[in-house]
Amino acid sequence: MIHETTPTTQVALNMGPQHPSTHGVLRLELMLEGEVIVGCNPIIGYLHRGIEKIGEARSYPGFLPYTDRLDYLSSASNNLAYVQAVEKLIELEVPERARYLRVMLLELNRIASHLVFVATFANDLGATTAFLYGFREREPIMDMFEMWTGARLTQSWIRIGGVAGDIPEGFAEAARSFCAMLLPRLQEYDRLLTGNHIFRARTEGVGLLSRDVGINYGCSGPTLRGSGEPYDIRRAEPHEVYDRLNFDVVTDDSADCMGRYRVRIEEMRQSVRIVEQCLSQLPAGEVLARLPRVVRPPEGEAWGRVESPRGDFGCFVVSDGGPQPLRVRIRAPSFYHMGALPEMLRGWKIGDVVAILGSLDIVLGEIDR
C-alpha cells in the first residue's frame, strides 16, 4: 500500500496576517492534511492599540472618538455602548428626539456593515462582481453620514446626552429614497448570489455551528441567530426606543454559512423598516441634554449593551468619582465568534476557511482593541 510506505505528515500553514481574506490582520495557524484542516489556532494582537487602557487616561467625553476605532464598520454602535454606560453612571435623561436619531444612525450603520459583509463574503468565494455591488449600495449611506455628521466612517456623532447635531435639511428625503432603492437591490443580490448553484454549494452545510455550541462560546448577533436562537439585544434588553418599533428578529435554522448570510440579508430589510418608522415617528425637540463642563460621574460601575451588526457589543465603565474612568472594558462580539472558529473549521478545506471566516463577519478592530 502506498500510504503505508510513504507516510504523509501534517503541514503547518500560516494564513495571515497579510492575507486578503482574513479581514484585517488576523493570523490563522492552520494544520493541514493535504487540503483538509485538522487544526486551527487564531493568533490576534496585530492591531492592538490599548484602547481600553487609553480610556483610563482620557476624560469621559474625550474617550468617545477612540471607540469609533473598535468596530470601524459600525462606529455608531460602539459610541452608543460607551455612551449608554456613562449615561447610566450619571443618570442622565436623553431627549426623545435624540433617542430616535440614535436608532436611525445605528440602523443605517447596520445596513452599511451588512453590505460590506455581503461584499466581502462574496469576494471570499470568488464572486468579485458582487463585491463591488455591495460597496456601490453602501456609498449612498456614506454620503448620508457625511451630510449629517461630516464624517463617513468614524462619526463620533452619538454623544453623552444625545447626538451632536440634528439631521440637516434634505436628510429625511435622502434616507427615504435610499430605503426605496435598497429593497430592489437586495432582490438583485438574491438573483446573483442567493440562488446561484455554486454559491449554495459553497455555503450550504458548510461551517456548522449548532445552537448550543454557539451559546457556549458566547456567540451573539447574526452568527447566533443563523443557528436558530432568536437572541437580539434590541428585543432582549430594549435600549433607546427599540421597544416602540416594529421589526422581526430574523433567525435561520440551517446553522451554516448560508444561514448566517440569509440572516444578514433579511436584517437589512428589517433595518430599512426601522429607519422608515424612525423617520415617521420622529418627535420634535432638543437633541442634546445639558451637561456640566467636566463630567464627573459618581462612584460606581455600569454596563452599556448594544446590538451591533456583529452581535452583543458591551462596554463596562467603572468610575471612582474623578474626571476620568477608572476602568473601561469592552466586550467585542467578534472575539467570541473567533473563539468558535477552530471548532467550525475542523474537517473542512482551505477554500472553506475563507467562507466560514467570512460568514462570521469579524472585525479585527474590535477583537484587538
Partner 1 sequence: MSGLPAAASGLHSSLLTWWADRGLPPWVFDAIWMVLMAAIVTVFVLLTVLFLVWVERKISGDIQSRVGPNRTGGRFGLLQTAADALKLLTKEDIIPECADRPIFVLAPFLVFVPVLVVFLIVPFGEHWIVKDLNLGVLFVVAVSALPVIGIFMAGWGSNNKWALLGAVRAVGQAISYEIPLILALVCVVVFAGSIRIGDIVSAQRDGHWFITRFPLQIAFLLYFVAAMAEVNRVPFDLPEAESELVAGYHVEYSGMRFALFFLAEFAHLFFVAAFCTTLFLGAWDGPWLPPALWFLIKTYAVILVIMWVRWTIPRLRIDQVMGFAWKCLVPIGLLAVLATGLVAAVWGVP
Binding site for partner 1 (CB under 8 A): 11, 13, 19-21, 35, 122-129, 132-133, 136, 192-193, 196, 198-199, 201-202, 349-354
Specify the 3-state DSSP secondary structure of 158.
strand
Q: C-beta of 364: minimal distance to partner 1 in Å?
A: 17
Number of H helices, E strands in the chain: 15, 8
C-alpha grid cell for residue 143?
A: 454620503
The nearer residue to partner 1, 103 or 116, going by C-beta atoms, is 116
Q: C-beta of 178: minimal distance to partner 1 in Å?
A: 17
The nearer residue to partner 1, 18 or 210, going by C-beta atoms, is 18
- Strands ordered across the beta sheet of 300-308: 300-308, 311-319, 327-331
Amino acid at residue number 5: T
Neighbours of 45 (CB within 10 A): 13
Amino acid at residue number 36: V
Whole-number Å distance between alpha carbons of 275 and 180:
11
The nearer residue to partner 1, 70 or 364, going by C-beta atoms, is 364
Whole-number Å distance between alpha carbons of 322 and 292:
14
The nearer residue to partner 1, 137 or 267, going by C-beta atoms, is 137
The nearer residue to partner 1, 124 or 232, going by C-beta atoms, is 124
Q: C-beta of 237: minimal distance to partner 1 in Å?
A: 37
CA distances from 337 to 84, 86, 224, 305 (A): 24, 27, 9, 17
Q: C-beta of 35: minimal distance to partner 1 in Å?
A: 6
Neighbours of 58 (CB within 10 A): 16
Q: C-beta of 351: minimal distance to partner 1 in Å?
A: 4
Amino acid at residue number 360: L
Q: C-beta of 286: minimal distance to partner 1 in Å?
A: 42
DSSP state for residue 242 in the 8-state scheme: G
DSSP state for residue 115 in the 8-state scheme: H
Q: C-beta of 36: minimal distance to partner 1 in Å?
A: 10
Contacts of 353 (CB under 8 A, 6+ apart): 15, 21, 28, 30, 37, 40, 345
Say if CB 212 and CB 255 are below 8 A apart.
no
The nearer residue to partner 1, 259 or 314, going by C-beta atoms, is 259
The nearer residue to partner 1, 20 or 45, going by C-beta atoms, is 20
